[in-house]
A = this chain, B = another copy of it.
Amino acid sequence: MGNCLVAQSGGPTAVINASLAGVIKANQLNPLYDHVYGGIHGIEGVLEDKLYDLTNVPASEINILKQTPSSALGTCRYKLKRGQAEDFERLLSIMEKHDIDTMFYIGGNDSMDTVDALSEWAVEHDVQRRFIGIPKTVDNDLVPVDHCPGFPSAAKLANLITHATKLDYDAYTRPEVFVLETMGRDAGWLAASCCLSGDVDLLVLPEVDFDRDWFLEQVKRKMDEKGSCYIVVSEGAHYEDGTYLSAGDSANDGFAHAVLGGAALTLKQMIVDAGIAPRGVVQDLSRAARSSNFAQAKIDVEEAFELGMSAHARSHDPAFTARVVGVRRAKTADGSYAPEYFAGPASEFANFVKAFPTEWILPDYQGITEEAIEYFRPLIAGEAPIIYGDNGLPKTIIPYNLR
């Protein structure tokens, strides 16, 4: 009986460690592997032989690990690409040295491509090692799944802050706009999700080329109608020519102002410069959106954990490689939400971006359709039971000292 390796890659999420906890727990329930090693700082650390034994993490710590945000093993942006024979051989030597049969890689599109490339290379070189993916991304942009672990918690935090700041904004009589910015470079899922709160007047997504004049007309209409306008913008919003709003507005309008900072700052300045409102407030969720352990979505932490368990259990099959586990929405008799776990070819998870469906986008920046709302609703319903420390903060654990 050999060992397995788990590593994390790409941007952290609020529940990526729940998937790690799932693999550890599953191996305690059914020890398919003698040891579960954690690779420190993703593939980067693994190539440097930085492993940490996670086999016997006690149950109490596993529960804390489930609610620890960020990547407990550290992460990396280094991408193993097809053709990097030296890296592949180095990885193989590490796996041989530690008798590692199976590598679980928790990450986004790029990491799933790594899983695919490694599996392919292993088959070509008759190497008996397996590579299995467990998805995560707050961007929610993987193709074959209903949603990605990490996204529901990010969406919950985004909705919590949308609703709270909307109430704060509404308390004033003075005319000003409010602009909330969310993550989402290529896909607008997180920004769109904010509409669930019922508080969004205008929504600016990367899926629709930004039309400055038409947008400003909508803002003006809202301000004229009710004296307020709550706007949500995705960081990846861009003009028709591909220029990001966050690159500043000067390239695309008649004004000479260079605007540094994000898309929200640009929109605010644009509205003020156009004389539609004398001032505006900007709220950028920034990193807080993806590390919101204090607002984990209930199904998110459950599913991320169970995906880790599912990946481990399926690896019982010696032919199980180049596969990624994922969640689909099950059909239920009463229409209530239920997850259905599946495994698919890593190639289907890799290198594609699932945009927010254009048929779910209302015209004129007016938000999203009822169908889209119904898609989001079950994802953020319910609260994860959080274990707090005496210091008033959720308990967290990082098994390995990363810094």
Does A81 make an interface contact (CB < 8 A)? no
Task: Give the oligomeric copy count.
Answer: 2
Instruction: Determine the interface band of chain A, counting residues with CB < 8 A from chain B.
Output: 35 or more
Does A353 make an interface contact (CB < 8 A)? no
Min CB–CB distance A193 → chain B (angstroms): 11
Min CB–CB distance A378 → chain B (angstroms): 9
Does A28 make an interface contact (CB < 8 A)? no
Asked if A392 and B398 sit within 8 Å, CB to CB, the answer is no
Contact for A281 among B76, B287, B391, CB less than 8 A: B287
Stretch at the interface among A122-130, A213-221, A235-243, A288-296: A288-296
Beta-carbon contacts of A261-291 to B below 8 Å, as 1s and 0s?
1000100000000000000011110111011
- Which positions in A face B, CB cutoff 8 Å? 8, 12, 14, 41, 44, 68-71, 74-77, 156, 159-161, 163-165, 167-174, 196-197, 226-228, 259-261, 265, 281-284, 286-288, 290-295, 297, 377, 380-383, 388, 390-394, 396, 398, 402-403
New contact pairs (18) apart from A164-B293, A168-B287, A383-B392, CB-CB < 8 Å: A12-B167, A12-B168, A69-B164, A69-B168, A70-B169, A75-B171, A76-B173, A159-B393, A163-B393, A164-B288, A165-B288, A165-B291, A167-B396, A167-B398, A168-B290, A168-B291, A260-B260, A297-B392
